[in-house]
Copies of this chain bind each other. A is one copy, B any other.
């Protein structure tokens, strides 16, 4: 990766003297960087003002990198020659490979085999290449990349990597490296993430993802990366329409939204839902310290913006604490007569920049964890007025500039001094010098209150996620590593036996093949009991009338047996009998499941049980294996967590739930042949939890 991002010289295939090819524009952008560029062209003497070479063999040196913007078939030929000539890094911009279907897939395989033969590492095909702010190299189509800074972007889309340049410049976001990874025939997202994780210039990593092929490797690398720097991801492949679009675009192997969502949490990755969030958050995370608590101070010169920020913060889970009378007194020394000090602190119309940029922020940061500021005005406003009003009144732009500059530089220093984040908001953009100054000195300034609040929240979320990742480091996974005998699909009683082997408590059930046996077992276990159909053909037992609860005496058991068997006979002949188990008193109904997903592997799910919650889809997902921290967070993230933590006399033993999830994870690791596991319901109460019904399938 390093050589690819820092070539001393580049051979370029596909530039011409016609402006109407993508290759020409890309070559122009590269030429601008000052890096030695050798256009290869079959006919021209000169291309974009540079000496052109008929073939790669004619070049005066072996370049560090070859870039191809020629038809797919031609890439194969030229790549071969490059390899023979000794080039071992390439960027294949050309489309027409696996993203277009079968024919393209063949080309892509050939491409890989040529590359392997010559030990060429390459990016693409179907990529726009790279931007490296440190050597000013931009191989992409749009010129004028964002300024140099701390964000690095990995994108499974050239558009997100490149078309966004004007937007990113306008917003003042600063980048280290941008990598468009295309079809990932060779270098993939995992390689890039691994590289950027160790890259000192990269302070935060943003990713646009349509699907991860090396899923487990990605999780491993991401889990390590987030321990050292923040990672934000936007995932577009989770919906049906998104998946269709991604498939046609980069032939991505997409996966269900909930699984990626759980996977991101598990790896400590912040998940952005929009392009705005992706870059907003990555920028704040690249320049500001994390937010260690939820208490936010708001400083504003306007009530409306203060209200929007306060409202939005509370809505997204941050706190706007009422400031103590002492703090308010201190503030009142500075706030003007019509100002407010409770938090938001509203200076109203006040032209003394020392208050806004120094005095008030200092007082506030002593008492809160982070600061949001609205009211950043430099001289843009005054220059605009001057345009039409200078004949009417003296508009002292320079005087105002001077006063602002005396104090504005204090704000970034205060953030550093207190090691607490400060984030600004302004409806004026970088055309205003104060906005530009702050953005250029590490204080992000966002275009709306809500985006600023969102970025502040991201600084908090990362501090939590990082902490979780660090806690994983210190715990050894206790996995049973001996080779286990493979199981086949299990009946309910066998499933429960297997669970018990792993220390999971179940409501034991006993098999009765006849009515007589059922009654005897019920008497032995003690009334009331539950009878359930036992048949390899019946999966959803209650749907066919195969479950009878709360049977209190012999005759109820007899009648239940008859009904169950009669019901079952309507749908199948294969009836083993019934199971008899103790009727449990209940507790909170939960459901734990495992599914096996193409490319992602086994995924564990956790949620409240019962029909309501099934509809409400209040379920958390993680990829197996899980750590204790993962179990904890997947329990805490469901909306119904408040019930588990204790509500109206209901309460669960959270530790036993964590342990249940981890044991299920262990079981699946030992038995990867399991394709589906369904524990539903699990009853939880303050003393522990017990699996009432269990199904295990092997594919």
Is A322 engaged at the interface, CB distance under 8 Å to the other chain? yes
Contact of A274 among B234, B307, B344, B448 (CB under 8 A): B448
A391 vs B49: C-alpha distance when bound (angstroms)? 8
Is A208 engaged at the interface, CB distance under 8 Å to the other chain? yes
A192-200, A225-233, A611-619, A628-636: which lies at the interface = A611-619
Of A157, A276, A392, chain B has the most CB atoms within 10 Å of the CB of: A392
**Are the C-beta atoms of A238 and B158 separated by less than 8 Å?**
no
Contact of A237 among B311, B337, B395 (CB under 8 A): B311
User: When each residue 389-402 of chain A gets 1 if its CB lies under 8 Å from chain B and 0 otherwise, what string results?
Assistant: 10111111000000
**Are the C-beta atoms of B242 and A310 separated by less than 8 Å?**
yes
Is A581 engaged at the interface, CB distance under 8 Å to the other chain? no
**Are the C-beta atoms of B19 and A450 separated by less than 8 Å?**
no
A593 to chain B, nearest CB (A): 17
Contact of A167 among B164, B447, B608 (CB under 8 A): B447
A154 vs B286: C-alpha distance when bound (angstroms)? 38
A356-364, A554-562, A598-606, A640-648: which lies at the interface = A640-648
Contact of A449 among B19, B239, B275 (CB under 8 A): B275
**Are the C-beta atoms of B612 and A155 separated by less than 8 Å?**
no
Contact of A389 among B48, B166, B304, B391 (CB under 8 A): B48
Given the complex, which residues of B lie within 8 Å of A242, measured CB to CB? 307, 310-311, 314
A244 vs B310: C-alpha distance when bound (angstroms)? 9
**Are the C-beta atoms of B163 and A448 separated by less than 8 Å?**
no
**Are the C-beta atoms of B245 and A344 separated by less than 8 Å?**
yes
Given the complex, which residues of B lie within 8 Å of A385, measured CB to CB? 19, 25, 28, 143
Contact A312/B274 with A305-B163, A613-B612 known, Cβ cut-off 8 Å: yes
Is A241 engaged at the interface, CB distance under 8 Å to the other chain? yes
A264 to chain B, nearest CB (A): 15
Is A384 engaged at the interface, CB distance under 8 Å to the other chain? yes
**Are the C-beta atoms of B427 and A165 separated by less than 8 Å?**
yes
**Are the C-beta atoms of B342 and A306 separated by less than 8 Å?**
no
**Are the C-beta atoms of A348 and B314 separated by less than 8 Å?**
no
Contact A302/B159 with A242-B314, A391-B49 known, Cβ cut-off 8 Å: yes
Chain B residue at smallest Cβ distance from A17: B393
Q: Which A residues, 106 to 153, have Cβ-Cβ distances below 8 Å to chain B?
A: 142-144
Chain B residue at smallest Cβ distance from A649: B543
User: When each residue 649-679 of chain A gets 1 if its CB lies under 8 Å from chain B and 0 otherwise, what string results?
Assistant: 1100000000000000000000000000000
Given the complex, which residues of B lie within 8 Å of A96, measured CB to CB? 337-338
Contact of A612 among B249, B302, B612 (CB under 8 A): B612
Given the complex, which residues of B lie within 8 Å of A610, measured CB to CB? 612
A488 to chain B, nearest CB (A): 30
A447 vs B279: C-alpha distance when bound (angstroms)? 13
Given the complex, which residues of B lie within 8 Å of A450, measured CB to CB? 273-276
**Copies of this chain assembled into the complex:** 2
A312 vs B447: C-alpha distance when bound (angstroms)? 22
A385 vs B48: C-alpha distance when bound (angstroms)? 13
**Are the C-beta atoms of A163 and B427 separated by less than 8 Å?**
yes
Is A564 engaged at the interface, CB distance under 8 Å to the other chain? no
Is A624 engaged at the interface, CB distance under 8 Å to the other chain? no
Contact of A611 among B307, B320, B648 (CB under 8 A): B648
Chain B residue at smallest Cβ distance from A611: B648
Contact A427/B338 with A276-B448, A311-B245, A385-B28 known, Cβ cut-off 8 Å: no
Is A584 engaged at the interface, CB distance under 8 Å to the other chain? no
Of A96, A159, A311, A322, chain B has the most CB atoms within 10 Å of the CB of: A311
Given the complex, which residues of B lie within 8 Å of A319, measured CB to CB? 241
User: When each residue 247-264 of chain A gets 1 if its CB lies under 8 Å from chain B and 0 otherwise, what string results?
Assistant: 011100000000000000
Given the complex, which residues of B lie within 8 Å of A2, measured CB to CB? none
A143 vs B19: C-alpha distance when bound (angstroms)? 41
**Are the C-beta atoms of B95 and A348 separated by less than 8 Å?**
yes
Given the complex, which residues of B lie within 8 Å of A238, measured CB to CB? 311
Given the complex, which residues of B lie within 8 Å of A166, measured CB to CB? 380, 427-429, 431
**Are the C-beta atoms of A303 and B640 separated by less than 8 Å?**
no
Contact of A170 among B159, B346, B429 (CB under 8 A): B429
Given the complex, which residues of B lie within 8 Å of A381, measured CB to CB? 142
Given the complex, which residues of B lie within 8 Å of A427, measured CB to CB? 163-167
**Are the C-beta atoms of A275 and B156 separated by less than 8 Å?**
no
Is A351 engaged at the interface, CB distance under 8 Å to the other chain? yes
Contact A307/B389 with A158-B302, A394-B19, A428-B166 known, Cβ cut-off 8 Å: no
**Are the C-beta atoms of A48 and B276 separated by less than 8 Å?**
no
Given the complex, which residues of B lie within 8 Å of A649, measured CB to CB? 543
A50 to chain B, nearest CB (A): 8
Given the complex, which residues of B lie within 8 Å of A481, measured CB to CB? none
A391 vs B50: C-alpha distance when bound (angstroms)? 11
Given the complex, which residues of B lie within 8 Å of A543, measured CB to CB? 648-649
A96 vs B346: C-alpha distance when bound (angstroms)? 14
Contact A388/B143 with A244-B322, A640-B616 known, Cβ cut-off 8 Å: yes
Please name the 9 residue pairs, one residue from A and one from B, whose CB atoms are nearest each other, closest first: A157-B304, A249-B303, A242-B311, A159-B302, A241-B320, A239-B314, A245-B307, A241-B310, A159-B304
Beyond A31-B389, A160-B304, 14 additional pairs, beta carbon < 8 A: A19-B396, A32-B388, A49-B393, A95-B338, A143-B384, A158-B302, A160-B308, A163-B302, A165-B427, A166-B429, A239-B314, A245-B311, A611-B650, A612-B643
